[in-house]
């Protein structure tokens, strides 16, 4: 594409004019152009491969569905088509889209200062760390803030290596921890790992939920003198499809790690802050990790934010040189204001309690649907509002996901991995919206022949 500064300036001003203009003043012609341009720009400047996997393109039946405005559990595209959001940004929108109290806090902080100087001490970051220390299980006390979940995992891995002086890790098959190189090294999926091998050395994988396998791997490593720094796992596997481990898994994992003198890292990026019907996923089993990772919902769905935190004993290795791990924008004032407002909403609206009762309701109703439409579902599982619908094969799963999209319901599930479709809505989604989604799902199921 030839360099053209004048055109770049013109294109910048054109889209900003639409952003600043009241919705009622934007013409149908302008809206249609937004839809067309978005597809062209993805194809020419982002990655054209995305387009074949987006139901917003493949199942739109005309103009692509272009995200434009959202509130609560409802999204509208540039052409004002309304969608019920059961995807929730894969856990990003636990508080709903644009929760007014969170947006208000961010706007207030924006009027004061959007970033920090890097030299002065910033009060919101310090206060947020204190609040999280009060909320987290066990002796977790110190934290570092970044922008995305994979950054939090990277920091946790570095901290574990620094503290133990060992380089190996034990992770779980089908586990998901992010796609930067360190996080990718502990991911349990070959499709993302294999093209980039070799990754970090010394990573072993075991089936999720199998504490005996963890014990065996750690014993074998110890026998041959290989140092294992930590075991890392999600409390409930999210990307794998809301996979809940046996009830004795996490307590046994804690006991095994203590006995083998190996750290335990909990990746709560997707399960944290009420998603599973408890404040944190590990709260279901009353287990305290040595290091814990947060992301997604931590920022309130308004400003990206992530964190890894640990006990004082572990964190002390960072004190001699606090610049061993730094970031320019992580934990900025806008993000911390957003997180603090989100935590206040978490408590005031009892979002963990809402997730628990609504999750039990949805699991029950989905079970009834599975009974009425045999030969379609293989399993329905999850905790809280992290729910996986496992179908008998990819073809049926995609028909369900595409059918819901055609009925204006957003869920997970793609062309490459549709056998399990996740339902992961805002924790404060009104019951009437959940019921409407169930009605539309049943309408989809009526048209599927197993």
> What structural domains and CATH numbers belong to the chain?
102-348 (3.40.640.10), 351-446 (3.90.1150.10)
Residue 50 has pLDDT above 80, yes or no: no
Segment (H or E) for 125:
helix 123-135
Model's pTM, two decimal places?
Answer: 0.95
Residue 314 scores a pLDDT above 90: yes
Beta carbons within 8 Å of 78's beta carbon, 6+ residues apart: 31, 32, 34, 35, 38, 66, 68
The pLDDT tens digits for 128-154 are 999 999 999 999 999 999 999 999 999
Q: What are the pLDDT digits (tens) for 199-235? A: 999 999 999 999 999 999 999 999 999 999 999 999 9
Instruction: Grade residue 325 by pLDDT with cuts at 50, 70 and 90.
Output: very high
pLDDT band at 63 (very low <50, low <70, confident <90, very high): confident
pLDDT at 59: 61
pLDDT band at 420 (very low <50, low <70, confident <90, very high): very high
In the 3-class helix/strand/coil scheme, how is 254-312 assigned residue by residue? HHHHHHHCCEEEEECCCCCCCCCCCCCHHHHCCCCCCEEEECHHHHCCCCCCEEEEECH
pLDDT at 446 over 70: yes
In the beta sheet, which residues pair with residue 266? 233, 292
Which has the higher per-residue pLDDT, 416 or 160? 160
Beta bridge partners of 170: 204, 231
Distance CA(303)–CA(333), nearest Å, equals 10
**Angle subtended by helix axes 333-348 and 123-135, to nearest 10:** 30
Q: Does 195 have pLDDT greater than 80?
A: yes
The three-state secondary structure class of 60 is: coil
Confidence of residue 123 (pLDDT cuts 50, 70, 90): very high
Sheet holding 420-423, edge to edge: 377-383, 386-391, 420-423
Q: What number of other Cβ atoms are within 10 A of residue 203's Cβ?
A: 19
Which of 188-197, 263-272, 287-296, 342-351 is least confident? 188-197
């Amino acid at each position: 594409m030839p360099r053209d500064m004048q055109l770049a300036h013109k294109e910048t001003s054109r889209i900003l004019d639409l952003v600043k203009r009241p919705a009622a003043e934007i013409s149908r012609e302008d809206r249609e152009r937004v839809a067309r341009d978005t597809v062209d720009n993805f194809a020419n400047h982002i990655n054209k491969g995305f387009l074949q996997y987006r139901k917003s393109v493949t199942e739109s039946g005309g103009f692509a569905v272009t995200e434009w405005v959202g509130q609560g559990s409802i999204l509208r595209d540039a052409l004002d088509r309304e969608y019920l959001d059961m995807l929730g940004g894969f856990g990003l929108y636990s508080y709903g889209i644009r929760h007014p109290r969170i947006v208000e806090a961010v706007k207030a902080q924006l009027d004061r200062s959007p970033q920090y100087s890097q030299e002065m001490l910033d009060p919101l970051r310090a206060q947020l760390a204190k609040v999280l220390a009060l909320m987290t299980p066990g002796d977790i006390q110190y934290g570092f803030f970044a922008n995305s979940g994979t950054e939090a995992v990277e920091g946790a891995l570095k901290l574990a290596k620094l503290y133990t002086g060992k380089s190996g890790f034990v992770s779980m098959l089908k586990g998901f921890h992010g796609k930067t190189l360190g996080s990718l090294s502990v991911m349990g999926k070959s499709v993302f790992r294999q093209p980039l091998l070799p990754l970090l050395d010394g990573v072993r994988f075991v089936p999720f939920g199998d504490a005996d396998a963890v014990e065996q791997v750690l014993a074998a490593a110890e026998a041959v003198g290989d140092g294992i720094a930590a075991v890392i796992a999600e409390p409930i596997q999210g990307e794998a499809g809301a996979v809940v481990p046996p009830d004795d898994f996490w307590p046994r994992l804690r006991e095994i790690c203590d006995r083998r003198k190996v750290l335990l890292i909990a990746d709560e990026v997707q399960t944290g802050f009420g998603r599973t019907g408890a404040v944190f996923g590990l709260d279901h089993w009353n287990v305290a990790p040595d290091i814990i990772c947060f992301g997604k919902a931590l920022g309130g769905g308004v400003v990206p934010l992530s964190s890894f935190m640990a006990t004082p004993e572990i964190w002390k290795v960072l004190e001699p040189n606090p610049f061993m791990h730094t970031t320019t924008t992580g934990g900025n004032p806008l993000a911390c204001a957003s997180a603090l407002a989100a935590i206040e909403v978490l408590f005031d609206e009892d979002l963990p309690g809402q997730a628990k009762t609504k999750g039990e309701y949805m699991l029950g109703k989905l079970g009834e649907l599975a009974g009425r439409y045999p030969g379609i579902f293989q399993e329905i599982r999850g905790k809280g509002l992290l729910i996986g619908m496992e179908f008998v094969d990819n073809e049926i799963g995609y028909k369900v996901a595409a059918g819901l999209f055609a009925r204006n319901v957003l869920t997970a599930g793609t062309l490459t991995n549709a056998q399990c479709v996740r339902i992961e809505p805002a924790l404060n989604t009104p019951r009437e919206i959940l019921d409407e989604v169930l009605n539309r799902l049943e309408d989809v199921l009526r048209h599927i022949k197993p």
